[in-house]
Amino acid sequence: MLAASTLVTLAFYVFGTNWWWAVLTDGYWGYGYLVLDAIVFALFVDIIVLQGIVTNAILGVIGAVVSVIPV
């Protein structure tokens, strides 16, 4: 899972970054890379080990909040 999350994060980092804009604006990921890696790893652990309990709870809270907001 750690290998998979690192490879996924690496793909986001390499292919999802506009490198020209990053060089111009100093918009590098820095420690954000590690944070994203940790989040993806936690997501994988939750889905595979905990069968998505935490993800389900988070999405449930978000759904409840969104449903309260009047359209």
* Range 18-57, binding another protein (CB under 8 A): 19-20, 23-31, 33-34, 37, 48-49
Q: At what angle do helices 32-48 and 2-15 cross, to 10 degrees?
A: 140
User: Whose Cβ is closer to another protein: residue 21's or residue 69's?
Assistant: 21
Q: Report, in Å, the least distance between residue 19 CB and another protein.
A: 7
Rounded Cα distance between 66 and 71, Å, is: 10
Q: Which residues contact 54 (CB under 8 A, 6 or more apart)?
A: 42, 46
Binding site for another protein (CB under 8 A): 2-3, 6-7, 10, 13, 19-20, 23-31, 33-34, 37, 48-49
